[in-house]
Structure 1
């Protein structure tokens, strides 16, 4: 071990030879393929190509869509923010009117008519009657408290209904929410500008236009309102601004107008009727057709029941007890009268007022109903069916206070042609009292005589004028009373020529006949034109003792909320025209017209009355005007186109209308005697009281001027 000195080599494990890994043999082509995973197929290159193109398009559309959506969302947010910044406080949006209103009170202080847009005062969604709030929501927007100002479901439903009914997608049902309707009522925040619009009606019509772009703006504005206001505030604006027919703006005004009560106090039936007006205010206005309004209200009651606002019992009660109009609304009285009063006041406080005005008037609803009933009675019972003839009636007190006015056969009107105040018609023999007023004022008496026989007067420029009586005969010598009683034409012309046409013209004018009076001798026979109101007012002057009268209807005018009137009575008693003695004598003569003359059909049972008939040439106009100690009434009848009446004279149908009117007017009133002097009967008229003999000469005691005028007339110098 020590002898050699060499190191032993390190022990190393022997390396075994490793076998070379042979590559796996490739399976034969015919060998079976390995099984594929379930559902996986090889891709068809053509299909794969189109799939990749389609996928690329989808990804592109998605990228564009979300980016455009983001842009649109930002634009929408900006638009909403803009409109939101322009919206004022709720209180500034409640009164929608640019003009004021006029409320008319009758002689007793009760409202009988309205003119202009009426705003009843502010109400709120919290204080209004729950039944009304529920009726509006059930009718217009049952999801009002759940949407964000726009209801996609409602719009889709409306479009589907419109297309199904053959209309355009935006025609008919709009699917608008209450918020969108409020946006439209606000005209999307664009105020009325008189410089840009011809009228407020044209402005509102533009606000109601429906176009796609306007619907988009309306939706944006509605969303801005939802951000700016609470739901109840939006509803409050809507309740105050909605137009509900008959000039009523807002539910408070409509409730006051139709039911005479606040919108805070309406019951379910009344609430349903008011909500029903929103669809078509004029069509469903109860003042136009109460039954149609009640039928519409029943539909609303059904909606309220379906949506749980009414129980079955409550709905049944509402249907069994439909809403009824208040007395003032039901009567719709005084349409012609109200229009006349509006014309008589200053325009800046009536027709064009920007303030809310209260007018107290002379109107008497009982007398108005009496006049309307009288006219309807005669036309229904005495006039042939289908006749186009018209009539007008005026009733007033002796001092000219007009109590009733009927301007035509259609009495429930507003803004219609008023035949009592607008129609200038020939007066016929209704003018003759002014001829005899001139004679009596000069000293003649009712028993003075005049000769009824042929007379010819030369009229310069026209030739000879020969008046004839209606009966085409002659009575000889008659008293003035008999001449007026039987409406003789020749004596009227003789008296007029005797006292002087100018005297007759002056007296008629001072009594209130403002129209141009005929210059020739035919003046005495009423060839001049006048209105029924003027003529009735002139007769009132005879009743009150010979003093002129200016018919009036306005007692006082004040602004709503003020106690001090701005204007007061514009009419009444004026200056003396004839002596009281002459007026009392003329009243007697006119009383005889009714007692035994041409006006006998006007005679009132147990009550003294005086009046005069009037029939114009070819019977184109027929009049009867007369009075009792309490009231004066005038009646005109004719055709608007001047067609002659058939078989009608002033002593016929007009006298009968007058009789029916005055019987109703005096119902319950004690009979009072007329202010008249009954002349002592005479066996024969004294020669000195002869107004004009066959020669046309006046009595010897008449002024020299009158004698000269008569002589001039006879000699043809006039």
Structure 2
């Protein structure tokens, strides 16, 4: 160590490549567990070194392994998709009623209303037509629906995967327009149980319910349910309602071309309605016929015939007034049958010929003179003397207004109310020959005047009514008492509230046309009060009797026969010298009374023969004044035109008591108050005292009563 100067320090930055450089990096042998360690353990430096491992070869992905993974991934996705769909289906299924409690809801009942001759007057109810069975229908009718809506109906299980695929393809390729994949069973499920919304949830529920239907019903049962529930537009549910609505006939009688239109209509009832869009409806029907021919449902000959004779929808004739009569039937039906559980048939008293005539004469008069006289509406009622309603028109046009003025509009009857005043007087001893004084009258500041503002002096009671003199009617009303007049009117069937006052004699209390006509019926039948009726019997569609009108009914006797004879004599005089002269019908003895309010707001005429009573009202719904429409002009014309038609083929029937009428027909109306023949014209041996002896007494009475 003496020569320690020779000591050398380690150098760490020797130039690369220089001899004697130091390398401090570890080789694999230097690492733990490496060759060096193994040598130290064995202590045998001569051990043969381990063969170095071969480098690993990189694996190449084969096409087969990629496809396998793709298939595997697809299977996994499908599995998850099935699970997801199952979960969704289970969720929406849980929103439905329990399957074991599911039932097909009952179809709302239909009410078929028949006229007196058995013809269909109208259908009422939510469906618009009765239920029909497949056996009742011509074979081509249900086949038309299968051909155009679900040609694989008899092959699928409620859901048609092929149909869905075909619809998807056509929709994507825009061939044939948008297509739906719903089967008839699915459509039925929607109509029975679901709303019309188009959502995925609703489609899922629809499919579930379709499977339930297929499990519980046969194919024919499903098709029959479908045909009776599907909507055809215009308020018609079911093929029977649609056939009646568009072709005026039962579905049992439709032709092949008509069946094709109905089958095509369900795709879009509003767009393909044959009465509104006949070209569209026919184009669709041709597709239906072609599909039926392709499937072998009809022969080539039938195809040619159907294509050569397109269906023609019925056109609405007139103003649809039969619906007013049908509405009246529905108003009173509950009184006889209560709640309707199934389809029923209601037989009525309505006579189709009279109903059509009443509508025609009323509408024709309004069309011809309505604008000139500023009158827009009317109502008409005709009935037999026993109260059987034969015609009822509630307005000018049912499509425009469904308000039934014949039964619901209360209007002032004007002078047509006067017979109740005169009846009350006759029942207290007055007679048609009694002479009364037509002179000015005042009562507590009220001074009613006659229509023509003239006064005739001494006038018989008979002619006072015929000439509709207001002064005498008011005097009689105050003589007998307004309360007594109210009771008389109510006894004959007036049910509207009546004000017992002085103006009651001039018809200021409102009534409906139906009740006024029914009250007059007691004059036509000899004094029996009637309750108007329109229903004769009610049956179920299988013939079970639910209700039958008893042979007798009404209010009983409300007038003495002698009183009836005197009243009819006075009202007959209206046709002889009075305001209804132009309404006479040769060969018939007629009676009645006109009515006009003093402001020309309402005009009436109610008249009768021994076999028919009829009444007319004309006016405006909003109360607008007419241009001098009186009971003696337009209403009398309507009444006369109707009665000429209604009585044309009947043998004349005398009025009760008419054998005692001896009123001269040669007295002009203008001279009735002064003609010398007038004073003695009313002499009757059965009436006492004579008018000459009673005249001064009556004049003095009224002067005392009213302070004249």
TM range (shorter): 0.7 to 0.9
Shift of the 272–163 alpha-carbon distance from structure 1 to 2, 3 Å rule, reads closer
Alignment of 1:597 with 2:578, yes or no, is yes
Aligned match for 1:134, one of 138, 143, 163: 143
Alignment of 1:615 with 2:621, yes or no, is no
Residue 449 of structure 1 corresponds to 435
Alignment of 1:408 with 2:395, yes or no, is yes
5 Å matches for 1:197-208?
207-208=195-196
Secondary structure at 2:650 match in 1? coil
Residue 186 of structure 1 corresponds to 192
Range that drifts further, 465-474 or 601-610 = 601-610
1:640 Cα deviation (Å)? Answer: 0.8
Q: Is the 8 A contact 2:573 2:663 kept in 1?
A: no
Residue 39 of structure 1 corresponds to none
Residue 109 of structure 2 corresponds to 100
Alignment of 1:389 with 2:395, yes or no, is no
5 Å matches for 1:449-468?
449-458=435-444, 464-468=445-449
Shift of the 444–216 alpha-carbon distance from structure 1 to 2, 3 Å rule, reads same
Residue 686 of structure 1 corresponds to 691
RMSD: 4.2
Secondary structure at 1:674 match in 2? coil
5 Å matches for 1:418-457?
418-457=404-443
Secondary structure at 2:406 match in 1? coil
Inter-partner Cα distance in structure 2 for 1:391 and 1:132: 43
Alignment of 1:368 with 2:355, yes or no, is yes
Spell out, residue by residue over 1:615-635, the C-alpha distance to the aligned partner (whole angstroms, 9 max, x if none): 113111111110112210000
Inter-partner Cα distance in structure 1 for 2:469 and 2:447: 14
Aligned match for 1:505, one of 482, 486, 489: 486
Shift of the 451–264 alpha-carbon distance from structure 1 to 2, 3 Å rule, reads closer
Q: Is the 8 A contact 1:390 1:409 kept in 2?
A: yes
Range that drifts further, 489-498 or 238-247 = 238-247
1:358 Cα deviation (Å)? Answer: 2.9
Residue 284 of structure 2 corresponds to 299
Range that drifts further, 626-635 or 562-571 = 562-571
Q: Is the 8 A contact 2:148 2:291 kept in 1?
A: no
Q: Is the 8 A contact 1:158 1:175 kept in 2?
A: no
Q: Is the 8 A contact 1:469 1:490 kept in 2?
A: yes
Structure whose alpha-carbon radius of gyration is higher: 2
1:328 Cα deviation (Å)? Answer: 12
Q: Give aligned pairs, total.
A: 618
Spell out, residue by residue over 1:608-658, the C-alpha distance to the aligned partner (whole angstroms, 9 max, x if none): 321211111311111111011221000001111111111311111111111
Shift of the 554–692 alpha-carbon distance from structure 1 to 2, 3 Å rule, reads farther
Aligned match for 1:641, one of 622, 625, 629: 622
Secondary structure at 1:425 match in 2? coil
Secondary structure at 2:595 match in 1? strand
Q: Is the 8 A contact 1:81 1:224 kept in 2?
A: no
Residue 654 of structure 2 corresponds to 673
Spell out, residue by residue over 1:675-695, the C-alpha distance to the aligned partner (whole angstroms, 9 max, x if none): 323257774562444497444
Q: Is the 8 A contact 2:110 2:130 kept in 1?
A: no
1:341 Cα deviation (Å)? Answer: 2.0
Inter-partner Cα distance in structure 2 for 1:422 and 1:296: 39
Inter-partner Cα distance in structure 2 for 1:161 and 1:595: 83
Aligned match for 1:62, one of 56, 74, 83: 74
5 Å matches for 1:44-443?
61-62=73-74, 64-72=76-84, 86=99, 93=104, 97=106, 99-116=108-125, 117=127, 120-121=130-131, 123-124=133-134, 128-145=137-154, 149-150=159-160, 151-153=163-165, 155-156=167-168, 174-187=180-193, 207-223=195-211, 225-226=213-214, 231-244=219-232, 249-252=237-240, 254-255=242-243, 263=251, 266-281=254-269, 289=275, 292=277, 296-297=281-282, 299-305=284-290, 308=293, 309-310=297-298, 313-323=301-311, 334-346=322-334, 349=337, 352-384=339-371, 389-411=376-398, 416-443=402-429
Inter-partner Cα distance in structure 1 for 2:575 and 2:482: 27
Q: Is the 8 A contact 2:164 2:182 kept in 1?
A: no
Inter-partner Cα distance in structure 2 for 1:310 and 1:98: 31
Shift of the 372–294 alpha-carbon distance from structure 1 to 2, 3 Å rule, reads farther
Shift of the 328–100 alpha-carbon distance from structure 1 to 2, 3 Å rule, reads farther
1:475 Cα deviation (Å)? Answer: 1.3
Spell out, residue by residue over 1:261-304, the C-alpha distance to the aligned partner (whole angstroms, 9 max, x if none): 76566430231233244235577677xx3x74686255313432
Shift of the 56–456 alpha-carbon distance from structure 1 to 2, 3 Å rule, reads same
1:573 Cα deviation (Å)? Answer: 3.9
Inter-partner Cα distance in structure 2 for 1:131 and 1:679: 69
Shift of the 597–263 alpha-carbon distance from structure 1 to 2, 3 Å rule, reads closer
Inter-partner Cα distance in structure 1 for 2:176 and 2:542: 53
Shift of the 355–453 alpha-carbon distance from structure 1 to 2, 3 Å rule, reads same
1:391 Cα deviation (Å)? Answer: 0.4
Secondary structure at 1:209 match in 2? coil
Q: Is the 8 A contact 1:429 1:525 kept in 2?
A: yes
1:127 Cα deviation (Å)? Answer: 7.5
Secondary structure at 1:529 match in 2? coil
Inter-partner Cα distance in structure 2 for 1:57 and 1:617: 100
Inter-partner Cα distance in structure 2 for 1:665 and 1:137: 49
Q: Is the 8 A contact 2:436 2:472 kept in 1?
A: yes
TM-score by length of 2: 0.76
TM-score by length of 1: 0.75
Spell out, residue by residue over 1:153-192, the C-alpha distance to the aligned partner (whole angstroms, 9 max, x if none): 3543686599999xxxxxx97543322212212216xxxx
Secondary structure at 1:186 match in 2? helix
Spell out, residue by residue over 1:60-96, the C-alpha distance to the aligned partner (whole angstroms, 9 max, x if none): 853541321343576689799999993899xx74xx5
Spell out, residue by residue over 1:481-516, the C-alpha distance to the aligned partner (whole angstroms, 9 max, x if none): 221122111111112222332332221111111122
Inter-partner Cα distance in structure 2 for 1:498 and 1:127: 69
Shift of the 133–563 alpha-carbon distance from structure 1 to 2, 3 Å rule, reads closer
1:230 Cα deviation (Å)? Answer: 5.6
Q: Which consecutive residues of structure 1, in runs of 5 or more, have no partner in the other structure? A: 1-42, 166-171, 189-206, 459-463, 698-709
Alignment of 1:583 with 2:592, yes or no, is no
Q: Is the 8 A contact 1:451 1:692 kept in 2?
A: no
Residue 511 of structure 2 corresponds to 530
Inter-partner Cα distance in structure 1 for 2:141 and 2:461: 70
Residue 706 of structure 2 corresponds to 714
Shift of the 692–363 alpha-carbon distance from structure 1 to 2, 3 Å rule, reads farther
Spell out, residue by residue over 1:295-324, the C-alpha distance to the aligned partner (whole angstroms, 9 max, x if none): 625531343225525566534433554556
Inter-partner Cα distance in structure 2 for 1:433 and 1:121: 50
Shift of the 326–643 alpha-carbon distance from structure 1 to 2, 3 Å rule, reads closer
